[in-house]
Amino acid sequence: MLLVKADAPLHARFALSEPSLERYARSVRSDNDSDRWWGLYFVDDVEKIPGGARFMVTELTMDRKSYGFACIPDRGPDPEERGCEHFKGPWYIWTDGD
């Protein structure tokens, strides 16, 4: 139970997927490459953003939000951008939805 509360599954899955996700985030162009597996995550939607990329890795959840990652190596997210929370290094977890 303690491991779940500490988000151990999320951290372990991300650690195993990070090299693949980072390569993907650095290579995103405007003509995105979505609907495929990157590491242990199925990437549904991709968006190139200033200084990086963000992509949805899960489908709509019971709380009616979509979750994903944003990789922004040279700066943090725009302060006015809602739904972004620092995860580790250049990575942020973002939510999209009501």
83 pLDDT above the threshold of 80: no
Taking residues 66-86, what's their average pLDDT? 78
Average pLDDT of the chain to the nearest whole number = 76
Q: Other CB atoms closer than 10 Å to residue 26's CB: what's the count?
A: 11
Taking residues 14-37, what's their average pLDDT? 80
By the 10 Å C-beta count (0-12 exposed, 13-18 middle, 19+ buried), 38 is classed as buried
47 pLDDT above the threshold of 70: yes
